[in-house]
Amino acid sequence: MKKNILILVCALLISQASFAQLYFTQTGKTSFFSKTPLEDISAVNSAVSSILNTATNDLAVRMNINQFRFPNRLMEEHFNENYLESEKFPAATFKGKIAEKIDFTKEGTYDVTAKGVMMIHGVSKEKVLTGKLTVAKDNITLDTNFEIALVDYKIDVPKLVWEKIAEKIAVKSNFSLIKK
């Protein structure tokens, strides 16, 4: 886990020489939901790392794929072995920048857009995420909702179960970041 944090911090600081305010969490939450007429599938990962550099608006997120928890142990096994191949592709990441100019010294809630590169299943794609960023006295909260198309990340679904897994997966993330 410390290695994950070091990677995130290095990625954000490579191009930043000034003394920036860094906000960080290792307990971010990402969940997903697949709805089909035959079956609903959901999972939650509550050990997602994220860091935000308020001087540059750089944002980085990293999660270990095998930390998603399902209501059904067999679903979790199939997810890791057959679909996301978590031994071969252990992590998913997002590295981008919040587009809006935010006054991080002023408490409030802001609509934000983050543009960057999302990497899932070994495939990197440009992605634009929208969400709400809340600045409070001691922390910053970031909430996002977006969809992932399985085909975009070369996640194959066998024909035998294609009616049980949606082509687009609804994803929600929540990060409560504290000053580092």
- Distance (Å, rounded) from C-alpha 172 to C-alpha 165? 17
| pLDDT tens per residue, range 101-143 | 999 999 999 999 999 999 999 999 999 999 999 999 889 999 9
| Cα distance between residue 177 and residue 22, in whole Å | 9
Interval 149-167: pLDDT, tens: 999 999 988 777 778 899 9
Q: Residue 9: pLDDT above 50?
A: yes
Domain limits, the chain = 2-179
Fold of 2-179: Lipocalin (2.40.128)
Which amino acid, one-letter code, is at 49? S
Which neighbouring-strand residues pair with 60? Answer: 51, 95
**What mean pLDDT do residues 49-71 have?**
97
